[in-house]
Chain A
Amino acid sequence: MLANNNQIAHRKKILVVFFLCAAVLVGLFGRLVYLMVWRAEHYSQLADDLHERERSIKAARGRILDRNGVVLADNTTVCTISVIHNQIREPEKVIEMLCRELGLSEEFVRARVEKYSSMERIRSNVDKETGDRIREYDLAGVKVDEDYKRYYPYGDLASKVLGFTGGDNQGIIGLEVIYEKYLTGEAGTILTVTDARGIEVDEAGERRIEPVAGNDLYISIDRNIQSYATQLAVQACAAKEADSVSIIVMNPKDGEIYAMVNVPEFDLNDPYALPEGTPENLSAEEKQDLLNGIWRNGCINDTYEPGSTFKIITAAAGLEEGVVTPQDTFSCPGYIVVDDRKIRCHKTAGHGAETFVQATMNSCNPVFITVGLRLGVDNYYKYFEQFGLKTKTGIDLPGEAGTIMHDREDMGNVELATVSFGQSFQITPIQLLTTAASIINGGRRVTPHFGVRAVNEKGEVVETFSYPVQSGIVSEQTSQTLREMLELVVSEGGGKNGQVAGFRIGGKTATSQTLPRNSGRYIASFLAFAPADDPQVIAIAIVNHPKGTYYGGQVAAPILRQLYENILPYLGIMRYNQ
């Protein structure tokens, strides 16, 4: 037996051991309280992130509406039908139902239903009614996921302006790209719980974060004007067997574009379709180049030599600088010698004696060269920049081309002479139209644009877009003089074909030969505004490479005449010529 004192010593030590162990366990208990109470949220969050898999729910993309609220770009709901193998309870019923509803062969469906995979897609892009019907069968293991697909009710209307969207509903070209952040919305998510291998845990259910639909975009286009202009362009294009016809219709006071047509347009609902007769064996790159050509917006992405329509700018510069007055008289012998070069007038016999107004009506090259030379390179260049021709217009479409112009230092009298009547440099049609609009509207350089406002799902205006306006690029006096001169061009001069009975129209025609000069290819164009005394609408029609007659006054002017005959009353511009 143990000695008594020893036993007491042992007992004490055993007690110490017990209390030590118990103390450590209590300490660990404290640690647990810390982890499970104070750190619980942190670790639960991390654990949830680990367990949950996200499936995103696409947000409805905002619509694009014209100035009157006509929907130009919309969404349709399409469904994707899938089966989840290990949730299917009645495979035969599922196969039979899917075959019937989707019109698929039993063989096709059976292979997918019986395939052991986590999720098998049966068919996508199924219309909503069919999707709803399939959902109503309520068969286990059949999943109907809704998705949005962009839909353009008017097919090819304003195709190069609106643009289209890609597989993820993101804008590819046009306004769809520029206003992406307003249109796109916020995707929602479905959170599902999975195990470490990514297999969904059935009992855990799912959590949804609802998507936020994108904002609707109201644009300045008027569907009626756009579609009428398109019709005219198509007719002209066919009649003149032209390569393309572009028409822009704009409000010169604020730069809102009512229509922008580039015929041939393409089908926005099938933008990847290649034209008939395309060779089959194109490489992906060639195909893309071809498509890029089809999608190209000539009014903005391409530059051209404007020709005589540019005389508006030369006239404005000359009048503003005071080197010429409307009453100044000139004599046109059919050519003019600049330095060592002889530059011909389009009328080789010459226009003879004429005032500046008459020279404008006649579109007389030697007179405008003379005005250009009177201005001199420095002044001309100054006005070129002052009118905003060296900068881009800032239109809200992607890929606006810049102006191709002689460098100031490289400009001699010959270059100046050719620029004066619109040759040897290139600008975009929208640049020409904007500059002309700014000159005739009293000297306010406007920013051409489409976007007016973004409106959210609830109809609240999220943003009203504003665009810079630069005033004082020409004086009101010069502006008024030009309006009068250009009205005479239409009423009595080269733009006679642009007359619209009962309306005062101002305008200028142009016939520019495209490079190389001897190719016999021309661009016929006509720029016109109405009413001439208080322009509320300005438009340009450009016919690229027409067959047969190629004069702007004969090819392009009638297009705008027809356009104005219809849209002026429509726009409520009823100020008759008095």
Chain B
Amino acid sequence: MAGQRRRSRKREQTEYFFDYSLLFIVLFLLGFGLVMVYSASYYEAFSDTGDVAYYLKRQLAADIVGLVAMIVVANIPYHFWERFATLGYVVSMILILLVLTPLGIERNGARRWIGVEGFPFNLQPAEVAKLGMILFLAAMVCKMGKSVRTMKGFLLMVVVPLPIVLLVWQLTNNLSSAIIIMGISLLMVFVASPDYKKFVIMGAAALGAAALLVVIIVNADSVEGFRSERILAWLDPESYAQGKGFQTLQALYAIGSGGIWGKGLGQSMQKLNFLPEAQNDMIFSIICEELGLFGAIAIILMFILLLWRMMIIANNATDLFGALLVVGVMGHIAIQAILNIAVVTSTIPNTGISLPFISYGGSSVMFLLIEIGLVLSVAKRIQLKT
């Protein structure tokens, strides 16, 4: 194995491949994200901090740090990381547990961040866990070899992410990140396992369970807890306009008032303190309001292109580890983009998920860029056929 690897590395160094299309798409999304973060946040930033570019500056800094990290990772052969897979899993878990220590930072009523005083960036352990899980599962599947095909192997792959998922969900009270991690894991398992039937059943079961839950909540006499009310607010945001439906409804106002052509960049009304988290989870609705349906299509197309590039890289990866890494990253971005747009358009109940590369949020963008770095690194190994 070791000899083979060394030989292949030599070969690729002579036929250097760098996926510029992918890089371009990511840079476009980042640049677009900066413009939109500024547009969505300047009003609130000015009234809150006196600096119109407060959010823009912080996001730009995170982007730069992320891009540097991406370039570094892209130039490190991805197999270098294989040996850290287990360590990554353990570190993810420790970081999540650190949220409970004094290092944990509480924001908007949720304890999801850790940070050291004086250091400008705080870390969201859930972001680390996503990357860690991608790495760990990719490495594990490769180690398992043929046993992947057995039922035991399948169960193992499904069970392994659960501890992290449960910790993220329960300790940091972050259902959306837990869903994303589980989703990434299942997509990777789906690709690794040759079977279809199990997944179709699982998918149907999940959909059935979700539908059942909604029916139970709708028919329940009293509404208890924050999530069940969210579901009612999702079904009829206008009746919950002052409560749980507020953000959803404000997002719908923004999207609806954008129309086909939009109000023009910077012309959003909803960002004037009406829509909470306008620069963050709800940025897509501001895009819709300012750039209209065409702006929204453009962004969705960019994401589809991004996924397509990653699919090409995954399919041409020189080995399963590389392919699975790319699939994990692809799954991460796809799930997050889909869930974010679905939440913003009130297609699914409201939950906090940011739009990859575009939403304001340092941890998120830095880890996404590191993941892109991994994908670029996998791409670099691809043998060009002349």
Contacts and interface: CB of A to CB of B under 8 A. Distances in A.
A36 B342 contact: no
Interface stretch (B91-99, B113-121, B251-259): B251-259
A50 B274 contact: yes
Contact of B190 (A1, A13, A18, A197): A13
B236 interface: no
Contact of A21 (B270, B307, B345): B307
Interface string A18-44: 100110111011011101110111111
Given A17-B327, A43-B256, A50-B253, A193 B269 contact: yes
A24 B323 contact: no
B367 interface: no
Interface string A173-211: 000000000000000000001111100010010000000
Contact of B272 (A21, A25, A31, A195): A195
Given A2-B320, A196-B274, A33 B293 contact: yes
B296 A36 contact: yes
Contacts of A196: 272-274
Contacts of A35: 252, 255-256, 288, 345
A325 B192 CA distance: 125
Interface string B11-41: 0000000000000000000000000000000
Contacts of A31: 342, 345, 347
B175 to A, nearest CB: 19
Contact of B314 (A14, A39, A44, A193): A14
B218 interface: no
Contacts of A284: none
A239 interface: no
A44 B270 CA distance: 11
Nearest to B316: A11
B300 A29 contact: yes
Contacts of A10: 191-192, 320, 323
Chain A binding surface, main DSSP class: helix
Interface residues of A, number: 43
B303 interface: yes
A436 B273 CA distance: 72
B304 interface: yes
Interface string B330-343: 11001001100110
Contacts of A13: 190-191
A282 interface: no
Given A13-B191, A24-B338, A39-B256, A47 B269 contact: yes
Interface residues of B, number: 49
B292 interface: yes
B273 A195 contact: yes
Give the interface centre of A11, A21, A39 by most chain B CB atoms within 10 Å: A21
B290 to A, nearest CB: 12
Interface string B309-321: 0010011001110
Nearest to A41: B256
A15 interface: yes
Give the interface centre of A2, A25, A33 by most chain B CB atoms within 10 Å: A25
B151 interface: no
A51 interface: yes
Contacts of B270: 47
Nearest to B321: A2
Nearest to A15: B311
B257 A37 contact: no
Interface in B264-307: 269-270, 272-274, 288, 292-293, 296-297, 300, 303-304, 307
A28 B347 CA distance: 8
A44 B191 contact: no
A474 B379 CA distance: 114
B252 A43 contact: yes
Nearest to A197: B273
B374 interface: no
Interface of B: 4, 43, 47, 187, 190-192, 194, 252-260, 269-270, 272-274, 288, 292-293, 296-297, 300, 303-304, 307-308, 311, 314-315, 318-320, 323, 327, 330-331, 334, 337-338, 341-342, 345, 347
16 contacts: A14-B315, A18-B311, A18-B330, A21-B304, A24-B338, A26-B300, A28-B342, A36-B296, A37-B293, A40-B256, A42-B256, A43-B257, A44-B256, A46-B256, A50-B274, A201-B272
Given A10-B191, A14-B314, 10 more contacts: A15-B311, A18-B330, A25-B303, A25-B334, A36-B260, A36-B293, A37-B293, A43-B256, A46-B253, A201-B269
